[in-house]
């Protein structure tokens, strides 16, 4: 399909099934106004994360990579009032943009932003109640570390979603020199062989382009 066609289909699906929400659109606008990259998930994928939270009955959600909190808002809206989204952001300046967006969307009471490199923050979460849903969307070079923590901080039945597993098709290039794509490949290979997971992945074509998501169950 041409870009014109898949963008038209994405707009049609978004208009028909997702709708337009001022709090979410304001969050994206504030993110862009702050000079942060426009790499939040597409609305159809935000709605997917929201539905996965509800389908899995999630009360505790872990997000690795907050950015402007667009996906955070979607997931916070999918958990009960006594639930929590713990979201990890490496950059304090970015966390401030996220905090303002969460407040404007009225979900700040359900979200804990932890500031620091996820590889350092994740060990501090050990010993707490397990997470029911984990969304991995940070530096792709660390995906194997994040997946290992998702299994350790989850329980049998925990749902794990990994963003950006397609990368315009580059994921299937064994000779890729991109550290991010290599990290993505290592993460997918871990999901394929690690007995703690059962997983699949979908290619996606939406307003963010040609990419994909992996969905895994902790077994
Ligand atoms: C890009 C997109 C993402 O969703 C992400 O998490 C990181 C990078 C990108 O398009 O470059
Ligand atoms: Mg992403």
Q: How confident is the model at residue 137 (pLDDT cuts 50, 70, 90)?
A: very high
Looking at residue 2, the DSSP 8-state letter turns out to be -
Q: How confident is the model at residue 32 (pLDDT cuts 50, 70, 90)?
A: very high
Q: Which residue range forms the structural domain that includes residue 114?
A: 3-218
Do 129 and 90 contact (CB within 8 A), yes or no?
no
What's the 205 CA to ligand 1 centre distance in angstroms?
Answer: 14
What's the 152 CA to ligand 2 centre distance in angstroms?
Answer: 22
Phi, psi of 123, rounded to the nearest 5 degrees? -60, -25
Please state, rounded to an integer, the average pLDDT across all residues of the chain.
Answer: 98
List ligand 1's pocket residues with C-beta within 6 A. 39, 137, 163-164
- As for the ipTM of the complex, it is 0.95
Q: Which of 164, 179, 181, 184, when mutated, tests ligand 1's pocket best, judged by the most ligand atoms within 8 Å of its CB?
A: 164
What's the 191 CA to ligand 2 centre distance in angstroms?
Answer: 18
The C-alpha atoms of residue 122 and residue 153 are separated, in whole angstroms, by: 9
Closest CA to 189 of 167, 203, 172: 172
Domain of 206, CATH number, reads 3.40.50.150
Ligand nearest to the CA of 167: 1
User: Which residue has the least CA distance to atom 10 on ligand 1?
Assistant: 39
Segments in the chain forming alpha helices (H): 3-13, 22-33, 43-55, 70-76, 92-104, 118-121, 143-153, 179-193
User: Could you read off the pLDDT of 34-58 as tens digits, one per residue?
Assistant: 999 999 999 999 999 999 999 999 9
What's the 39 CA to ligand 1 centre distance in angstroms?
Answer: 5
User: Could you read off the pLDDT of 78-104 as tens digits, one per residue?
Assistant: 999 999 999 999 999 999 999 999 999
User: Which residue has the least CA distance to atom 1 on ligand 1?
Assistant: 39
Q: What is the pLDDT of residue 138?
A: 98
Start-to-end CA span in the chain (Å): 37
Q: How many domains does the chain have?
A: 1
Is residue 1 scored above 90 in pLDDT? no
Q: What is the pLDDT of residue 125?
A: 98
User: Which residue has the least CA distance to atom 2 on ligand 1?
Assistant: 39
What's the 164 CA to ligand 2 centre distance in angstroms?
Answer: 5
Closest CA to 137 of 180, 172, 83, 100: 180
User: Which residue has the least CA distance to atom 3 on ligand 1?
Assistant: 39
């Amino acid at each position: 399909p041409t870009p014109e066609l898949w963008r038209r289909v994405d707009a049609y699906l978004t208009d028909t099934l997702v709708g337009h929400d001022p709090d979410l659109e304001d969050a994206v606008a504030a993110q862009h106004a702050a000079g942060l990259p426009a790499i939040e998930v597409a609305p159809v994928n935000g709605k997917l994360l929201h539905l996965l939270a509800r389908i899995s009955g999630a009360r505790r959600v872990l997000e690795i990579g907050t950015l402007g909190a667009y996906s955070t808002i979607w997931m916070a809206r999918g958990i009960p009032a006594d639930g929590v989204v713990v979201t990890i952001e490496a950059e304090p300046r970015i966390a401030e943009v996220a905090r303002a967006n969460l407040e404007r969307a009225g979900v700040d009471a359900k979200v804990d932003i932890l500031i620091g490199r996820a590889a350092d923050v994740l060990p501090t979460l050990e010993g707490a109640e397990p997470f029911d849903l984990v969304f991995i969307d940070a530096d792709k070079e660390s995906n194997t570390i994040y997946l290992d923590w998702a299994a350790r901080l989850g329980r049998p039945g925990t749902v794990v979603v990994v963003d950006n597993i397609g990368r315009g098709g580059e994921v299937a290039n064994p000779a890729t020199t991109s550290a991010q794509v290599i990290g993505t490949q290592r993460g997918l290979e871990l999901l394929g062989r690690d007995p703690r997971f059962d997983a699949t992945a979908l290619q996606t074509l939406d307003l963010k382009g040609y990419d994909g998501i992996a969905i895994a169950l902790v077994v």
